[in-house]
Chain A
Amino acid sequence: MESALVTMACVSYQYPRVRSLALHDISLDIQPGEFLGLIGPTGAGKTTLCLALNGIVPQFYGGRFFGHVRVAGFDTLEHPISVLARRVGLVFEDPETQLIATSVENEIAFALENLKVPREEIIARIPRALEAVRLEGTEKKHPHELSGGQKQRLAIAAALAIQPALLILDEPTSQLDPVGAREVFATVSELNRELGVTVLLSGHAAEELAEYADRVALLVEGALLQVDTPDAIYSDIPRLLAADLRPPQVAQSFSRMRERGVRVPHIPVRLDAGIAALERMRDPAAPPPAAPPTPRPVLGEPLLAARDLHHVYNDGTHALRGITLDIRAGEYVLIIGQNGAGKSTLVKHFLKLLEPTRGDARVGGTSTRDLSVSGLARRIGYVAQNPDSQIFNATVADEVAFALKNLKYPQAEVDARVDESLQAMGLRAARDQHPLALPRGDRARVVIAAILAMRPDVIIFDEPTTGQDYRGARYILDISRELHQMGKTVIIITHHLYLMPEYAERVLVMGKGTLLLDAPIRRAYHAIDLLRATYLTPPQAVFLARALRASDAGDYPLLTPDEVAACVAGQPIAWAEEQRWAR
């Protein structure tokens, strides 16, 4: 057998001033040329494990370290990080925080210059790295001119340029729209297959890891529970759900079919295998499903409105192009679209964080030009895409109390609301911790808790599920639903379309600053070609529904794995709308 590129033997690690172990007795080999996926809930230790492979843990963080890690023959505790960095390339989740140079080629050269690679060699490596990630021709561009997916590919190119034996990507697609994510996975897979680069990729992208990884390692509370093929890992639905992880929708669909008595010999984990299996299993004589319930109309005066809204940024970017829409009190609205479609720009107009270049944004019938930012902040809570940009206090409790204190609420009221919000977000135990020391998912909850404490009428969540594990994402969305049931108007911007059928009623599809579609969620998710036009991909359940429809003329407007399973089993469908209303 080929000797392993990475060997971890009985590795445990304890961060300074923390009693629990971040990693516990990890033993793992990674073979040369392997593509290993690393999955686990938020806080499972995925990032710590990645950082242990290039010595940053423990050389930078300190703490206590047990066992041995060897990468390409180098013990990570006996060699400095600068030596290990030549063997291990590391790409983090947020491309923005990794790019520092003023041009693409300088970005790639930066690490090489620091490693004292000769100039001629640097010049030779830049085009090779760019070609590997399909970014040729962008050498002179500023990294910020690139799209999200391109930026992440540039970060990968910079890591590749040092010619590492191991390429580690820590949640590289969680900040990207579906197309950006697909670009990154396609690139990494190509590097792995064609150039033989050994890859360790951690993240929550179940569908993609099921498709591309050779093996998947399941990490829970710092311990490695299972290392196996994607088929073995992703077809064990109960185990994944117990670990707060989301299985691919295709696997969920077939698992539910099995639960409903359909004979499913093998649970597929990839969409193509699922569609093929569905075509074999389906009874061509079975009638199409009954029609789903009609969406409930929401009446009343518009609470938020846009009229021919245009916005042009100072750099000339025309971000909104004549948006006209109404959002009524009590609606739950999902806004989707590619990165740069204008989603965040639109909602910021309702908060007066941006002002229209032309047209009008109205709140409660009044133009935002006549309203103050502070007045709007009391009525509309905004949870920004990057929670860190909204955090500046030294403790979680202070962060939640900050706005209330500034609005001169009595101390008893402040304390009560802070307690209530921390309880709602499951953060009471962290109340005295520094917010920035919490995992990203918890940092987002801190910001939401601070917004909840203000008790606004409208709450806008801008990518609230980014960086969250399945449970964390559902947890936040469940809160959004509770708020909706309390009569609040909820607006959510997200790329995670598969999470939303149980929550959203209405979908605004945006593309290049325009409103492409305003429709109930079921119709919007089945507008596959239009979604593709704005670089979105519907959930796998929609493709399975389409596969069912392919063989007869019936209508299959299915949205969720459960609906697909019920349809295949010929049983009554519990439509997502009915479940929403029943809650």
Chain B
Amino acid sequence: MEMYIKPSGEERQVRSLETVAVAGAPIAYIVVLAGVVMVLAGIPFSVMLGAGNGFPLSQAIYPLVGWILGPVAGALAAGVGGLLGVFLFPQNSAVPIATVLGAVAGGFAGGILGGKGRWAAWGLPIAVFFGVVYAFYAGSAIVLNGVDGGIFLLASFINWSALALFVLPTRKLFRSWLSSADLKRVTPALFLGTWCVAGLSHLTAAFIVYQVMGWPDFVWASMIPVSPLEHLMRAAVGAVIGSGVLAGLRAVGLVKPKYAAY
């Protein structure tokens, strides 16, 4: 930002000299956000159709963690928080490894969506990766288990719509809105960005759970109206929490992690 008066002193390079940082994010930030994920992992917000147990509310903030910390530190914080969460609140996880990897995928994809510097170029490879996961998910349902293709398509709406938002230029649009000074842009970016990234996180977790447990046809049918509603909840919670957190972080003016998107 331009200043009104020019100083006479030599401008110095400002950097944090403490070594306790992971991928550009201070370890203290990672610990705090992992703690937040862990706490929210204790709050159920829906029942998991097919596999039983519940969804934890923490799913709504995996993207936010990625936007604050960047891809690697975001994945680490979400993963650690998710891991602690499955031990402390097992009722909110059907398959622990799916919960943890879903969290890691969410934190990482969030960091890529908001990616800056070298991470900006990772969008396409990551989109291909999630595309492959979706293909395997569809293959195992339609080809191996004989689920009707139309039903699968409708039941996995939140996943392919997330993938589409990630592949299309919307990803870059969300990125620019997230860093906007205008909260009227940031809040929609948080809502749509959470829809996109949490959808990819859900895809990762759902794929693993389906491989481990599978579920019958009638569950696919019941997912058609239920899962978009649940996903709306995730996006809304992500937008509400994210607006407060990002507004607070901006106002307080703490040093931003190197790959932060806000």
Contacts and interface: CB of A to CB of B under 8 A. Distances in A.
20 contacts: A9-B9, A12-B7, A12-B9, A14-B1, A16-B256, A18-B1, A19-B1, A20-B3, A21-B7, A25-B8, A55-B17, A63-B14, A64-B3, A65-B12, A66-B10, A66-B12, A67-B8, A67-B9, A77-B14, A436-B251
Contact of B251 (A9, A58, A434): A434
A16 to B, nearest CB: 5
A15 interface: yes
B13 to A, nearest CB: 8
A418 to B, nearest CB: 18
Interface in A47-85: 55, 58-68, 77-82
Interface stretch (B146-154, B161-169, B170-178, B242-250): B242-250
Interface of A: 9-12, 14-21, 24-25, 55, 58-68, 77-82, 394, 433-434, 436-437
Contact of B1 (A17, A61, A434, A436): A17
B25 to A, nearest CB: 14
Interface string B1-27: 111110111111111111100000000
Given A78-B17, A433-B251, 13 more contacts: A17-B250, A18-B253, A20-B5, A21-B7, A58-B14, A59-B15, A65-B12, A66-B8, A66-B9, A68-B9, A77-B14, A79-B17, A434-B250
B68 to A, nearest CB: 15
Contacts of B255: 59-62
A374 to B, nearest CB: 25
Contacts of A17: 1, 250, 253
A21 B9 CA distance: 13
Per CB-CB distance, the 4 closest pairs between chain A and chain B, nearest first, are A67-B9, A434-B251, A12-B7, A10-B9
B9 A11 contact: yes
A62 B253 contact: yes
A62 B14 contact: yes
Contact of A59 (B5, B8, B9, B14): B14
Q: Name, among B3, B15, B254, the residue most crowded by chain A CB atoms within 10 Å (CB to CB).
A: B3
A16 B181 CA distance: 13
Main secondary structure of the interface of B (DSSP, over half): loop
Contacts of A67: 7-10, 12
B252 interface: yes
Interface residues of B, number: 29
Contact of A16 (B8, B15, B253): B253
Contacts of B252: 434, 436-437
A15 B253 contact: yes
Given A20-B3, A21-B3, A59 B10 contact: no
Nearest to A58: B14
B26 to A, nearest CB: 9
Nearest to B7: A12
A441 to B, nearest CB: 17
A537 to B, nearest CB: 37
A436 B250 CA distance: 11
Nearest to A57: B14
B245 to A, nearest CB: 10
A61 B253 contact: yes
A394 B244 contact: yes
Contacts of A68: 9-10, 12
Nearest to B256: A62
A65 B14 contact: yes
B251 A25 contact: no
A81 B18 contact: yes
Contacts of A9: 9
B200 to A, nearest CB: 29
A378 to B, nearest CB: 28
A530 B233 CA distance: 63
Interface string B229-262: 0000000000000011001101111111000000
Nearest to A16: B253
B6 to A, nearest CB: 9
B9 A64 contact: no
Nearest to A434: B251
B15 A24 contact: no
Contacts of B12: 65-68, 77
Contact of B16 (A59, A63, A436): A59
B173 to A, nearest CB: 22
Given A10-B9, A17-B1, A20-B4, A82 B18 contact: yes
Contacts of A21: 3-5, 7
A10 B7 contact: yes
Given A60-B16, A79-B17, A437-B253, A65 B3 contact: no
A225 to B, nearest CB: 15
A366 B244 CA distance: 41
Nearest to B18: A80
B17 A10 contact: no
B251 A437 contact: yes
Contacts of A65: 11-12, 14
A328 B209 CA distance: 71
Contact of B247 (A58, A66, A80, A434): A434
Contacts of B16: 59-60
A433 to B, nearest CB: 7
A48 to B, nearest CB: 12
Contacts of A12: 7-9
Contact of A66 (B11, B248, B253, B256): B11
A67 B7 CA distance: 9
Contacts of B243: 394
Contacts of B4: 19-21
Contacts of A80: 17-19
A209 B242 CA distance: 46
A435 to B, nearest CB: 8
Nearest to A15: B253
A342 to B, nearest CB: 35
B241 to A, nearest CB: 12
Interface string B120-140: 000000000000000000000
Contacts of A433: 251
Contact of B254 (A11, A60, A66, A82): A60
Contacts of B254: 60-62
A24 B2 contact: no
B253 A394 contact: no
B186 to A, nearest CB: 12
Nearest to A12: B7
B213 to A, nearest CB: 42
